Structure 1
């Protein structure tokens, strides 16, 4: 066997090894990206449910809550009021109008049946609502609900965030808002928008 043939066989083996190695690297990267997207979709869905519950809670109680047990109890046994608003316009003698607003409470419906029905959320489990999906440590979302003063007015703010993102590239100090850990709301602004939107 001459040296050219030996060199060709060794080169072929090295090329085959590199091809398999690179294919495995690419496959692992694609699989990791798919897994990150899958887990983040679960986290976002959970955050949307929490946001919907917090908005309903604020509508009924006039504030957000930072207490998971209170929020879960509201979803389970709370009620939303069905109201009817109508305006009555009364013409005044001097050409102006007076508007009287009539508000009638028609009914009270359970939060669980109206906002979180089994048709809309078939797998809703209140015992796991506060827990970050696929979190190995079993950590809960961090919830912040307070009143702050904005332009001299007291307003409610809410922020719920994933403190331990599955995607390790999500950092709190990121310049891009959508590359920070998944969350909705803000501690300083009046918003319930999610940073994934």
Structure 2
């Protein structure tokens, strides 16, 4: 009989461990949790403490609780083990799943921002300024062309009226060879530029990025500037509110800082985004 009870107690302990081990395995995955981070260290600590408490309670029941009511306590403990095991599992998995969702959605958003940035830079190169809205930018992509040019050095002599002699003049001659459509140059036959204004994974499928265009004075010259942005609330609208609040306060070289994802700036001449280099590396690997 005693041997049977020991087996039963062992089963109870294993139930708790079984519920938590999948979370431990995934939470240690380097793809979703950075090695050495607080989240990676917190997970095994929670597991060890939970198992120690579970085993301690089992022995406490065995030593303190009267023999007649031990079966009732054992059943209560089994249910409690399952309940708290489930809760601990969720507490471990929630940040891991949040990060997986975040990285997937941020990647799609950043890819759109890159397309918008490339289109705006092409607009500035050809027209001298940035498109004021998405309609103008899309129209530009569909109709504008890049000039394919060839540069070559040349020289000629010119009579100098002051010194009364011929002087050698060196010049750069630019020949226009042909034209290439902006659409083909930037998007290589794809029509994704027609959807780049829309925020991926937003609650409203027609939610668009916020785009602002302005000009600033830099060293006495007027320079055009632009900024395209979207709030993290829009991208992660259906995620855990506490984790979303933490995400909006994050400041790290390995994360997207602040409350929004953006490219460009209205305060300085810049076409950079506020995302880390990891999103650039992941994008290059996918293209390979």
When normalised by structure 2's length, the TM-score is 0.59
SS at match of 2:79: helix
Greater shift in the superposed pair: 160-169 or 48-57 = 160-169
Specify the alignment match of 1:13 in structure 2: 79
Q: 2:203 aligns with which of 111, 136, 155?
A: 136
* Kept after mapping to 2: 8 A contact 1:87/1:101: yes
Among 175, 200, 203, the residue aligned to 1:104? 175
1:179 matches 2:249: no
Hey, what does 1:49 align to over in structure 2?
Answer: 115
RMSD over aligned CA atoms reads: 2.8
Q: In 1, distance between residues paired with 2:151 and 2:94?
A: 58
SS in 2 for 1:184: strand
Q: Which of 135, 143, 148 does residue 216 from structure 2 map onto?
A: 148
Deviation at 1:12, TM superposition (A): 2.7
What does residue 166 of structure 1 align with? 235
Q: Distance in 2 between matches of 1:26 and 1:41?
A: 24
Aligned-pair CA distance for 1:38: 1.0
Q: Which protein is richer in helix relative to its size?
A: 2
Q: Is the 8 A contact 2:187 2:193 kept in 1?
A: no
Asked if structure 2 preserves the Cα contact closer than 8 Å seen for 1:165 and 1:182, the reply is: no
Kindly provide the CA deviation profile for residues 154-197 of structure 1, in whole angstroms up to 9, marking residues without a partner as x.
Answer: 111111111454244454x8766831211111001111011114
| 8 Å CA contact retained: 2:261, 2:274 | yes
- Whose Rg is larger? 2
What whole-Å deviation, never above 9, does each CA across 1:65-105 have from its counterpart, x for those lacking one?
A: 122111001111211111112223569999x9743111111
2:125 is matched with: 59
Contact kept, 8 Å, 1:82 with 1:107, in 2: the verdict is yes
For 2:235 and 2:225, the matched residues in 1 are separated by: 26
CA distance in 1, matches of 2:71, 2:156: 103
CA distance in 2, matches of 1:86, 1:195: 39
Residues 26-55 of structure 1: CA deviation (Å, up to 9, x unaligned): 334322221111111110000000011001
1:194 alignment partner, SS class:
coil
Which structure 2 residue ranges, 5 or more long, are not aligned? 1-66, 237-243, 277-288
Q: TM-score by structure 1 length?
A: 0.83
Where structure 1 has 5 or more consecutive residues not aligned to the other structure, the ranges are none
Find the counterpart in structure 2 of residue 70 from structure 1: 136
